[in-house]
Amino acid sequence: MNNFPIIATILSMVLGLSITRLLTGLVTLFRIRKTAPTDWVPIVWSAVLFSIQLEYWWAINQLPTLESSFSYLEFLFFVLLTLMLFVTASLLLPTRSEDEASGVRVYFEQDGRFALLSLSAFLTLGLVLNVFVMKVPLWSYWAILDIFMITLPIIGFLAKSRKIYAAITLVYLPLMALDVFVSLNE
């Protein structure tokens, strides 16, 4: 039995909420731009996250070409993976007035950085999914790229210095571009 339509519907609903949450945060940044200082670092991470969300949505639609049916356990794993994107989007940018008062940089340093851990969790789960469910070899060039993409946000989260987490943010951009290129050309 082909259960992909059920899986695609649930994943698309949660992913749509994730994208909505991210876009709401960006609208909030625009709305508070005159009263609270903004910061480029969470905006760049938002662009990275948006790219990952779209890439993931594209991958979901490729699932029927890889497997015709999925177990309930695999379905739950896909839902968990998608929920990690929602958590990341929910943490990254402020949307409540009490979070907006100090500005985006303060919000990111206090709460938004936790989105980087959530992003790393999503990428780690994606690596596990690719290796154990999709049977992709662990020592391929994409997996090595994934290791860097998983590790850098964790280092960014742990960094106490703005210079370090800002540098990691800048390094992540070309990695993200390379990841999109690799993913779309497989």
* Spatial separation of the C-alpha atoms in residues 109 and 164, rounded to whole Å: 13
Q: Please count the structural domains in the chain.
A: 1
What does the pLDDT read at residue 102?
A: 78
**Contact between residue 28 and residue 90 where contact means Cβ atoms under 8 Å apart:** no
In the structure encoding, which two tokens stand for residue 112, read together?
A: 């938004």
The number of residues in the chain equals 186
Q: Kindly report the pTM of this predicted structure.
A: 0.92
* Backbone torsions φ then ψ of 105, nearest 5 degrees: -65, -45
Q: pLDDT digit string (tens) for 110-121?
A: 999 999 999 999
What does the pLDDT read at residue 98?
A: 64
pLDDT lower than 50: segments of the chain: none
Residue 159 domain boundaries: 4-184
CA 144 to centroid of chain Cα atoms: 18
SS3 103: coil
Which of 164, 49, 168, 28 is CA-nearest to residue 107?
28
